[in-house]
Structure 1
Amino acid sequence: MRLATTALALIATAVPALAEEVNLYSYRQPELLAPLTEAFTAETGIDVNVAYLEQGMVERLQAEGDRSPADLVFTVDISRLAAVVNAGVTQSVTSEVLNTNVPEQYRDPEGHWFGLTTRARIVYASKDRVDTSEVTTYEDLADPKWKGRICTRSGTHPYNVALVSAMLHHHGEEETKAWLEAVKANLGRKPQGNDRAQVRAIWAGECDIALGNTYYMGQMLNDPEQKEWADSVNVLFPVFEGGGTHVNISGVAMTKSAPNRENALKMMEFLTQPEAQEIYAHANFEYPIAPGTEADELVTSWGSFEADDVNLMTLAGLRADALRVIEEVDFDG
Structure 2
Amino acid sequence: MPRHSLIAATAGLTVLASALTGCGFTGGQPADLQIYSARHYDLEGAFGQFTEETGISVEFISGGDAELLERLKAEGEDTPADVFMTVDAGNLWNAARQNELAAIDSAVLDQAVPEDLRDPQGRWYGLAMRARTVTYNPAKVDPAEFDAKDTYGGLTDPKWKGRLCMRDATSSYTQSLVASLIDLHGREKALKIAKGWVANDVQIMSNDVLLLEAIDAGTCDVGINNHYYLARTLAKNPDLKVDLFWASQGGSGTHVNISGAALVEGSDNPEAALRLIEWLATKGQNAFVDANHEFPVNPTVKPEPVISDFGEFKRMPLNAQAYGDLNAEAVDLLAEAGYK
Shift of 1:83: 3.1
Aligned to 1:24: 35
Equivalent residues of 1:79, 1:158 under 8 A apart: no
Match of 1:114 among 110, 113, 125: 125
Aligned to 1:200: 213
Aligned to 1:158: 172
Alpha-carbon deviations, 1:104-151, whole Å to 9, x = none? 110112222100010100111012101122223222111110001111
Aligned to 1:14: none
CA distance in 1, matches of 2:221, 2:70: 41
Aligned to 2:158: 144
Q: Classify the secondary structure of the residue corresponding to 1:175.
A: helix
CA gap of 1:188–1:159, structure 2 versus 1, over 3 A, is closer
Quick check: 1:222 aligned with 2:240?
no
CA gap of 1:186–1:4, structure 2 versus 1, over 3 A, is farther
Quick check: 1:82 aligned with 2:96?
no
Match of 2:272 among 260, 263, 270: 263
Deviates more, 1:308-317 or 1:203-212: 308-317
CA distance in 2, matches of 1:202, 1:310: 28
Equivalent residues of 1:107, 1:114 under 8 A apart: yes
The one-letter code of the counterpart of 1:41 is: T
Q: Classify the secondary structure of the residue corresponding to 1:152.
A: strand
Quick check: 1:185 aligned with 2:193?
no
Aligned to 2:304: 296
User: Which runs of structure 1 show a deviation greater than 6 angstroms over 4 or more consecutive aligned residues?
Assistant: 8-11
Shift of 1:23: 1.1
The one-letter code of the counterpart of 1:308 is: M
Shift of 1:324: 1.9
Q: How many residues align?
A: 318
Shift of 1:86: 3.1
Equivalent residues of 2:208, 2:229 under 8 A apart: yes
CA distance in 1, matches of 2:124, 2:87: 12
The one-letter code of the counterpart of 1:255 is: V
Tell me the C-alpha RMSD between the 2 structures. 2.1
CA gap of 1:218–1:240, structure 2 versus 1, over 3 A, is closer
Alpha-carbon deviations, 1:200-232, whole Å to 9, x = none? 111222211111101111222234xxx27x711
Percent identity reads 34
Match of 1:134 among 126, 130, 145: 145
Shift of 1:241: 6.4
The one-letter code of the counterpart of 1:316 is: G
Unaligned runs of 5+ in 1: 12-16
Question: TM-score w.r.t. structure 1 length?
Answer: 0.89
The one-letter code of the counterpart of 2:52 is: A
